[in-house]
Structure 1
């Protein structure tokens, strides 16, 4: 009798396994042959499951996919059962239209600052917290952008130039003290980015520059993006993980996304949070002495006082967002610029000649007139954008007809910045893969505007980065100041093979900053530093 029960159980188990395998085979067959996207070209394994996409994301292969997928399959590629990448102007115009652009996809669940509440139907319900990256309610997002608009206008952020100048002076002194010693370029660009943000936002130094290290915070943040990049590709599992930690093991163990902080790790975010809270508490206390600091935090506090709809929750989140959204993107941009200029001697020669021969290269207004230096910087950003996964959006319910294909509503679509920026129909001049700053100068003005229009360096359509003006001010001032005072030697690894996730940084580049004799201004005084 016992043996009969065992045999029956084995039969049931066998039938169950067969049924499971048959179901999986049926799903795979449907997705390959009968799915509405079955005719879209792409890797066959990608059509079956998001596992293929997630595997490359976990292993840091996003930059490589951006550079190769469209070359092999064309301007539309299927990278998942229900996800498409595009590399065309037509797709960009539809997906990222400033007026009719599509809503963000479920991928951004993984980037949420505050976990949404998940109902029984696995529908997320977000609190109103000013999460500009993950916010998917466009009505609420547009209201938030209008509220903060005045604070981030160029006319306002340029008043923080003096704070950036003070940081640059300290950077020059620290680099001179190194006397040409080799440094990790990414770490030092991260140090500079965080110090500039600290000065502009809170009139404060996090101490990274003094210590000569970022305490492993850039690498730690990068691994966090690795985790988010994989989680974003499995929104249902991400929702289940938000409901209960019982499913956390899938990402932690199955995908091996756990990461530990390095021995010397120290995050600057706790200090940022404490200082923000202290500033708000003081500002809301009528008996406290007036804070005379003229920084971005002061502007945000004043905005809260002027417009009650800019709530204290908004105030806290926006103050923190300057660091959360700015520290790694700005570091990535600076690293790309110094790597590309530093590995092309002919370009660096022109850059340094232009900067060192200019009357006022160190002010933001003066840096804006350095045409070749700006071209060299923009070309580096074109080839090495801070994001190398698709800026994904959801096709509306009425669907999309494009490139001979009907794309049903609910499909995830988007353009990968690194791929779009290499499109020969967009990039003026020959060989879009080559680093050539002259393409921004020698082409027709219409050609340059085309490259500017179809750029995703600062996001797409109505979702462009609100901190763009502040970031550009810092980046161009740092580039001008350091190339005025140093010749830069960079040894960088091959582009393909570096880890690249949703967030992308050039890693492993080593640099030497070799001091040169400073120039004098018209009054015979040394320039900055």
Structure 2
């Protein structure tokens, strides 16, 4: 009972005096922070100088780079953005804050980025100890350069072809679509190829695979908020997040990414065990390091999983930001678009570029290179400061002394707009600035911070640039595009400055036409089964096969889909009316005859034939008859034949159709009529191109094709053209 008065007094004191004490404390703190604090001589607004809540708020809003630019205009090149943190807007201080020799230590800003629960040592990005970082980079640095990424380019070519096909679908439908979202899906599939040896399946299934995009976009704002939150408040913020649905979703998204990174890594490890060292993907190369010297250098499967987490979190989101920016700035600057497209078209015409575009080809184009560099300058994907602690002796920045232990940094989205380096038009999209004198170009290169600086440059840069150059050249050559509305994009800076609202409409350019050739052959008549061969010809690329909507129509009827080289083969299936009707009708709908397709076939006939011939499957008793293309080549040994009318074609087909295709006498009439329609469209496709072929091939190519055409005709018993 004696304790009750004491408790009552304490309660009364807290109720009456605690608020007063708190207010007095903050008043005294504010006076100290503005007058006596070691950073009190650094200019800046009042609130940032006394509390980090200002910095937290603008990181939450996603506009920190915009606010910093405005404040630098008002206060000058050095700015206090928190009681203990300073940012600089002058690019000349990059070597001092991010030096190669004796690098400054990273702050605890990096701690929230470290994947929790993996029990691994910090990765290259989150490692704050410079000696440990240097040792780690020596272990894994060899798997990230351009030479290593180039080994994965064939897999990235397949992703690029599929992406072009998806864009072609949007062009044909004439519907507006979220171009920015599809660029991110394209990038994620490339990350899958580079990291794990196969695409995730974003483009294949037109979905957000494992909700990666959703999860990353939920996680990044919360992680960014944690980076600028005082370390002693972070645990409390995590507890509060449980009670706030939006923050809880972000926390759960972080866990989902970690869980999926573990699943993806384990699955890819299982695939790689027997071929470690032979596959070019990064995971296989890292596994080889573990097997060869893992214990010696303290690198294990846990570190691999951590590296894969970083790749999934940062690899696609950052790259897609730059790709969106490339196309957005070109749409907003028509004269630049015309100029870069003319350069790309000329490169395709003279053979500098081929399809699918290779990185080293595209990167050699001066104006395209200038467009990419200007894009990364004007809108860097990573648009926040990456702070360092001032060294023990302090550091002089913009005439101000920063004592040891305080945070200093530069924001790429601020310094890369510096008019002293980039000119009075630094806020404008001007690729031509990168075509100026070599001296000026070197000076501008030194002021670029978007890829990092010093010892901490981005190891993902080769993978990102490979994707950017390939897709930029391919899309610009194939399609015209425009915004579907007049509104500017919206951005939200959550470390990665993500844009939304890049809603576009595409049109195929005159040289981009699709021709689908479908042959249905019966090779196993005893079992009454059919093979369906789907071959897609485009300009560009000259030739590839893919799972177009035709294949998607029949996918759910077939037990499996197998790929063989550059060729899609469906497992044998029994003739069923409900299946073949949509197949043939879709085929007919996609057989397009244009002058461009004629030029394609007559210019690259030999290459098309070789690709088509390579698709023969060993399961077939005999190679497919190649009715369409073999007929095309056989005509090379004689003058142009007569043009078969639809009626004549159908009469000829009627005589031998059932014998040719081994169709049972009970074949449904609708199926038979569809077969005739497909064959008729094939004939209509071939005859005009025969005339073009006879007049446009040079003598050497003519002789080669004529010889091969005669061999094909003899081999398959095809009569000479009349």
Q: TM-score, normalised by structure 1?
A: 0.87
Query: Residue 165 of structure 1: CA displacement?
Result: 0.9
Query: Residue 390 of structure 1: CA displacement?
Result: 0.8
* Counterpart in the other structure of 2:603: 524
Give yes or no for the alignment of 1:304 onto 2:290: yes
User: Greater Rg, structure 1 or structure 2?
Assistant: 2
Q: Which aligned pairs between 1:119-518 and structure 2 lie closer than 5 A?
A: 128-179=120-171, 180-214=174-208, 217-238=212-233, 241=235, 248-250=238-240, 257-259=247-249, 273-281=262-270, 293-308=279-294, 309=297, 310-358=299-347, 359-361=351-353, 362-427=357-422, 429-441=423-435, 443-490=436-483, 491=485, 493-494=487-488, 498-516=491-509, 517-518=511-512
CA RMSD of superposed structures (Å): 3.2
Query: Residue 311 of structure 1: CA displacement?
Result: 2.6
* Counterpart in the other structure of 2:110: 108
Question: Would the alpha carbon gap of residues 460 and 493 (structure 1) be closer, same or farther in structure 2, given more than 3 Å must change?
Answer: farther
Give the Cα separation in 2 of the matches to 1:266 and 1:397: 38
Give the Cα separation in 2 of the matches to 1:210 and 1:18: 63
Deviations 1:135-184 (A, max 9, x none): 10111111111112221222221121111111111111111111242121
Question: Would the alpha carbon gap of residues 356 and 332 (structure 1) be closer, same or farther in structure 2, given more than 3 Å must change?
Answer: same
1:113–1:131 Cα contact (<8 Å) kept: no
1:217–1:266 Cα contact (<8 Å) kept: no
Give the Cα separation in 2 of the matches to 1:374 and 1:176: 25
Deviations 1:281-301 (A, max 9, x none): 4655xxx57796443322222
Query: Residue 224 of structure 1: CA displacement?
Result: 1.5
2:277–2:288 Cα contact (<8 Å) kept: no
Consecutive unaligned residues in structure 1, runs of 5 or more: 117-126
Deviations 1:473-496 (A, max 9, x none): 12111111111111121357446x
Question: Would the alpha carbon gap of residues 217 and 276 (structure 1) be closer, same or farther in structure 2, given more than 3 Å must change?
Answer: closer
Give the Cα separation in 2 of the matches to 1:348 and 1:371: 14
* Counterpart in the other structure of 1:120: none
Give the Cα separation in 2 of the matches to 1:422 and 1:290: 45
Select the structure that is richer in helix. 2
Question: Would the alpha carbon gap of residues 451 and 307 (structure 1) be closer, same or farther in structure 2, given more than 3 Å must change?
Answer: farther
Higher relative contact order (CA 8 A, sep 6+): 1
Q: Among residues 28, 31, 43, which one is paired with 1:29 in the alignment?
A: 31
1:334–1:475 Cα contact (<8 Å) kept: yes
Q: Does the residue aligned with 1:461 lie in a helix, a strand or coil?
A: coil
Query: Residue 330 of structure 1: CA displacement?
Result: 1.1
Query: Residue 506 of structure 1: CA displacement?
Result: 1.7
- The structure 1 segments of at least 4 consecutive aligned residues displaced by more than 3 Å after TM superposition are 1-9, 249-263, 265-273, 281-284, 288-294, 491-495, 518-528
* Counterpart in the other structure of 2:562: none
Q: TM-score, normalised by structure 2?
A: 0.65
Question: Would the alpha carbon gap of residues 9 and 384 (structure 1) be closer, same or farther in structure 2, given more than 3 Å must change?
Answer: same
Give the Cα separation in 1 of the matches to 2:129 and 2:300: 18
2:120–2:306 Cα contact (<8 Å) kept: no
Consecutive unaligned residues in structure 2, runs of 5 or more: 513-538, 543-599, 609-722
Q: Which aligned pairs between 1:68-107 and structure 2 lie closer than 5 A?
A: 68-107=70-109
Give the Cα separation in 1 of the matches to 2:258 and 2:305: 13
Query: Residue 68 of structure 1: CA displacement?
Result: 1.7
Query: Residue 130 of structure 1: CA displacement?
Result: 4.2
Give the Cα separation in 1 of the matches to 2:113 and 2:431: 34
Give the Cα separation in 2 of the matches to 1:342 and 1:173: 21
1:110–1:238 Cα contact (<8 Å) kept: no
Question: Would the alpha carbon gap of residues 66 and 212 (structure 1) be closer, same or farther in structure 2, given more than 3 Å must change?
Answer: farther
Deviations 1:84-131 (A, max 9, x none): 110113321210111233111111122111269xxxxxxxxxx65242
1:201–1:322 Cα contact (<8 Å) kept: yes
Query: Residue 201 of structure 1: CA displacement?
Result: 2.5
1:383–1:435 Cα contact (<8 Å) kept: yes
Q: Which aligned pairs between 1:52-67 and structure 2 lie closer than 5 A?
A: 52-67=54-69
